[in-house]
Amino acid sequence: MKYIKLILVICAVGFSGLAFLPAKSEIVDTRSEIHVTKDGKVTVENAKITHLIGTTYFAKPVWGGVSIRLIIKTNENTKIINAYGEKLSLADLKVDDYLRVEGELESSETNFMVIAKEIKNLSIRKKTITFSGRVGGFATSTGNTFFLTTPKDGTVAVNASFAEEFKKGSLSITTSRLNIGDKVTSVSGTMDYPTNTLMAQKIKVYADMNVFKPKNFQGILKEISGNSLPLTMVLEISGKTYTVKVPETAKILNNKRGAAQLGRFVVGDTVRVYGAIQEIDPSVIDGVTVVRNTSI
């Protein structure tokens, strides 16, 4: 390898005095920097891809009005990663992307050519990450995006369009079933920092499962669908309206816990039922085993 000639050319254009340290921010720092060791090890920071031919990439480090042409050769051993160290493929390297390249010089009298050991695509600023917090609102542009208020990372937009798992308690849901203030115990996916959007893969929303356990409910009868089982009735309980599904096996009792006739049930009666709120529809009580009319 003709390293001496290459080093002299580098010194001639004077970029040893034009190198800058990369800024620590989520915005790509486009200022370039090159290091070449005595044994031909190369590190190139912020080289912009100009075009590509097969698995060879042509890039351009720039210092103000000064630039050079860089040829980057890859092979089956070249490691490709994003700005956060997550694995990529050669197909993820595009024209105008900024790269950090580590490798070795290849012999050339006319070109600055590097056989790449590792290529970091600094333009792909996405990271697999997990957040938790509470639902703070919803995007008006899409029904599949909600805003998550996190304890440490501020507000993050969560796109649930392609979530593989989206559950509230044990129930699979969509964004339409979320409420402001709901506790998101975990949401994981790929974070796109330039847009502050998490493309969610798994979302878990807290639900108090005690709410769905069987218990006694008491309310005022508003409607009843018939005089024989099975039937449905509508009860107003603590200011909320519930549809109660009464199966054929339910016991129908009066105030003294004796058998009662459904024909005696009238709107305005106080009725107690033993059943469970549906997780899929919290306005429905089913699994009813006992109906007791305390007004008769």
Domains of the chain: 3-121 (2.40.50), 126-207 (2.40.50.140), 212-293 (2.40.50.140)
Task: Please give the pLDDT value at position 214.
Answer: 96
For the segment 159-178, the average pLDDT, to the nearest whole number, is 93
Q: Do the beta carbons of residue 86 and residue 109 sit within 8 Å?
A: no
The pTM (predicted TM-score) of the whole model is: 0.60
What percentage of the chain exceeds 70 in pLDDT? 90
Q: How does the average pLDDT of the chain come out, rounded?
A: 88
**Helix, strand or coil, per DSSP, at residue 275:** strand
Pairing, β 41-53 against β 98-105: antiparallel
CA distances from 155 to 38, 151, 180, 214, 236 (A): 48, 9, 13, 37, 38
- H helix or E strand, kind and range, residue 6: helix 3-13
Please give the Cα distance from 66 to 158 (Å, whole number). 42
How confident is residue 141, by pLDDT bands cut at 50, 70 and 90? confident
For the segment 99-116, the average pLDDT, to the nearest whole number, is 92
Task: Please give the pLDDT value at position 13.
Answer: 36
Write the CB contacts of 25 (distance below 8 Å, at least 6 apart in sequence).
Answer: none
Task: Please give the pLDDT value at position 268.
Answer: 97
Task: Please give the pLDDT value at position 127.
Answer: 87
* Tens-place pLDDT, residues 61-80: 988 888 899 999 999 999 99
